[in-house]
Structure 1
Amino acid sequence: MNAVTPSPKLHDCRDAFVAVLERLGAENSRIVAVCNDSVGSSKLGGFKAKWPERLVNVGIAEQNMVGVGAGLANGGLLPFVCGAACFLTGRSLEQIKADIAYSNANVKLIGISSGMAYGELGPTHHSIEDFAWTRVLPNLPVIAPCDSIETAAAVEWAANFDGPVFLRLSRVGVPDLLPANHTFELGKANLLRDGDAITLIANGTLTHRMVKAAELLDAKGIEARVLNMATVRPLDVDAIVKAAHDTGAILTAEEHSVYGGLGSAIAECVVTEAPVPMKILGVPGVFAPTGSAEFLLDEFGMSPAAIADAAVALITRKPSQA
């Protein structure tokens, strides 16, 4: 009988976020948390228990929440503003633009339960436009870690970065992909697997699906490069251009609309710097329906098998080497 390979342990990136936040909070009394009636979903219960005077719960008032965060930063504190990504970005976009990005306020925006993580709550709670809304704003790094290790490293980095940050975290469990000693570098992609036939690029919850797709391709004799592109702004242009030159085709996948997100950002780079055949997988310009995140990703053609099939089809579009 063949041994069954155990499934990898899945981690909620919110746990990594709050573990680092509480450790940093013990070291730095300037760190405060601001939330929108989301102490539970942001997992800020431990922070509140330790420092109740350093947690501000504004209630369901996201525009106010961002303004409060900006005011606290102007007062010399280091606010982590936490809320559901769909409401943090959608309801508060003007405040994020004017009070945070334009003012270059030292506020860390933590969009939790991003993508389609709220699943059964339906289209109003899916956050599949937030990359598009935030990546156009000057001064605002946009980051979607792929696992709990990168989440912890990104939170550490954000706390030491002088300026605003948008950190996009899911509540859907994902396996750890990066080494335990990983250090986050803004604008730097991580090479998870090398290959010369095609490059697969993703971030957040899609990165581990890309790795699985690459394993399926490997079984077909196709060597796929896999890049974890956690930083949507600024992009790792060098890694994208090198991938285009080395592999001749790029496939992206994201828990976001195909319009304005990671794939669009990479396409902007590819078309201007190193044109090659490219395909963007994501939510195809529709309101994603009700359903679990895992189900919806599969339905929108982002199961590992579907990604592998899309890669095979894209490879056929590469110019002949003859």
Structure 2
Amino acid sequence: MTQELIPPHSRRGSKYAARTVPVSETGERLTTSAMIASLDAEGRATVAAPFGHALVDLAKFRDDIVGLTADLSKYTDLHVFAKAYPEKFYQMGMAEQVMISAAAGLAREGFTPFATTYAVFASRRAYDFICMAIAEENLPVKIVCALPGLTTGYGPSHQATEDLAIMRGMPNLTVIDPCDAIDIDQATRAIADHPGPVYMRLLRGAVPKVLDAYDYRFEIGKARLLRDGGDVLFVSSGFMTMRALDAAENLAQEGISCAVLHSPTIKPLDATTITAEAAKGGRLVVTAENHSITGGLGEAVAGALMRAGVHTPFRQIALPDEFLDAGALPTLHDQYGLSVAAVTASVKSWLAA
């Protein structure tokens, strides 16, 4: 096999350094699509568009539910709602600030708006509009955003690796990072009843179903212990809870016992449950998140432990504080330490140190 040099972006060394792509003997590039919005669900059942279908179910009984999107209904699963309730759907075009302002206006008139876009556009482009038009007034707007963290290979323009850090600093805003289709379905219904504004990350398309095996029930502001163990305590959110559960199975085969505490609410954090579990002692506490190591779940948990006076060995599994490469998701998850194999290896190395 030969290697072909191509010049686009690389985050190794110089920003514009050449990188290599494997090619076959016939010269064909051995690459996969960079844009993979649905996670690999090999061996797992999946649910199609759980957010869109949950919103449709809510609208059957609630006239106040409306949906808005910034030209991304298909890619945030809001097209399911738009098809069922076209009279309650608003296509705002590529104008996130306008969408947020319109959602605020609808909320003032008694509606419960669900506004969807990509996480990068809500957290970076529309931040001031969310802050001034929605959060300061504590309006019940639900901002639901696809492509959180490293769930696309399109590079920094689409990878919202810092959205949790941005949003958890905003007063009045509840921040949710659900794990799977079960979590998304239940969280959508819960945030519809929540009286204030919410920012929720979204896995879309064919979303794996995991938490139904753990007698799980989503509740805003609550972490749930999915499995117990005596050597390691994972505190995780988003799809990294799936990875923590899989890594725990791998580690169990080597005699390492792992607990997994799923914390889908980043703000308000369930500091009571987290500190109580960490305080049991004798376990390495490992936070696992699909977000930058800066300002997300890991630092929120570390702060909670310090304030509670809980001192325990602590490590973070998270994305680096840098702009990430573009590429295929399985490769990037290995590269940046989010794959099951990488999580397993990291925990073993920390225990051996």
Aligned to 1:295: 331
Does 2:241 match 1:207?
A: yes
Cα distance, 1:243 vs structure 2: 2.3
Q: Mean Cα displacement is larger for which, 92-101 or 306-315?
A: 306-315
Work out the CA distance in 2 between the residues paired with 1:139 and 1:167. 14
1:113 aligned onto 2:150: no
Is 1:142 the counterpart of 2:175? The answer is yes
Q: Cα deviation per residue 1:222-242 (whole Å; 9 max; x = unaligned)?
A: 111111111111111122212
- In structure 2, the partner of 1:152 is 185
CA 292–173 in structure 1, closer or farther in 2 if over 3 Å, else same: farther
Task: Answer yes or no: is 1:244 the counterpart of 2:275.
Answer: no
Aligned to 2:14: none
Which of 95, 106, 109 lines up with 2:129 in the alignment?
Answer: 95
1:171 maps to which of 204, 225, 236: 204
Q: How does 1:41-56 map to 2 (within 5 A)?
A: 41-56=75-90
Indicate the SS of the match to 2:49: helix
Could you tell me which of 278, 287, 293 is aligned with 2:314? 278
Residue 202 and residue 162 in structure 1: after superposition, are their counterparts in 2 closer, same or farther (change >3 A)? same
Deviates more, 1:171-180 or 1:102-111: 171-180
- Number of matched pairs: 310
1:50 to 1:306, Cα distance in 2 relative to 1, 3 A: closer
Q: Which ranges in structure 1 are unaligned for 5 or more consecutive residues?
A: 1-5, 318-322
| Cα distance in structure 2, aligned partners of 1:108 and 1:154 | 11
Distance across 2 between alignment mates of 1:199 and 1:313: 15
241-250 vs 161-170, greater mean Cα deviation: 241-250
Q: How many angstroms apart in 2 are the aligned matches of 1:225 and 1:42?
A: 32
2:8 corresponds in structure 1 to: none
Give the Cα–Cα distance (whole angstroms) in 2 for the partners of residues 306 and 74 of structure 1.
47
Rate the CA distance shift 1:233–1:147 in 2: closer, same or farther, 3 A: same
Work out the CA distance in 1 between the residues paired with 2:76 and 2:145.
Answer: 9
Of 20, 39, 44, 1:9 maps to 44
TM-score w.r.t. structure 1 length?
A: 0.91
Provide structure 2 residue ranges, at least 5 long, that are not aligned to the other structure: 1-40
Verify: 1:263 aligned to 2:306, yes or no: no
- Residue type of the partner of 2:295? G
SS state of the match for residue 93, structure 2? Answer: coil
Matched, 1:22 2:73: no
Among all aligned residue pairs of Structure 1 and Structure 2, give the percentage whose two residues are the same amino acid: 35
Contact 2:144/2:200 (<8 A) preserved: yes
* Structure-2 change in CA distance of 1:197 and 1:168 (3 Å): same
Superposed CA RMSD in Å reads 1.9
Higher normalized helix content (fraction of residues): 1
SS of structure 2 residue aligned to 1:195: coil
Distance 1:252 1:96, change over 3 A: same
Q: 2:66 aligns with which of 32, 38, 47?
A: 32
- For the pair shown, which has the larger CA radius of gyration, 1 or 2? 2
What's the TM-score once normalised by structure 2's chain length?
A: 0.83
Quote how far apart the aligned CAs of 1:72 are. Answer: 0.4
Any conservation in 2 of the 1:122–1:289 contact (CA below 8 Å)? Answer: yes
Corresponding residue of 1:3: none
Match of 2:341 in 1: 305
Distance 1:48 1:303, change over 3 A: closer
C-alpha change, 1:173 and 1:249, in structure 2 (3 Å) is farther
Task: Tell me whether 242-251 or 253-262 shows the greater mean CA deviation.
Answer: 242-251
Cα distance in 2 for residues equivalent to 1:211 and 1:192? 9
Compute the displacement of 1:292 (Å).
2.8
Counterpart in 1 of 2:17?
A: none
8 Å CA contact 1:248, 1:277 repeated in 2:
yes
CA deviation digits over 1:33-66, x for unaligned, max 9? 1110012112222322232221111111111111
2:351 to 315, 318, 322: 315
Moved over 4 A (4+): none
Letter in 2 for 1:288: L
1:312 Cα offset (Å): 2.6
Query: 1:309 aligns to what SS in structure 2?
Result: helix
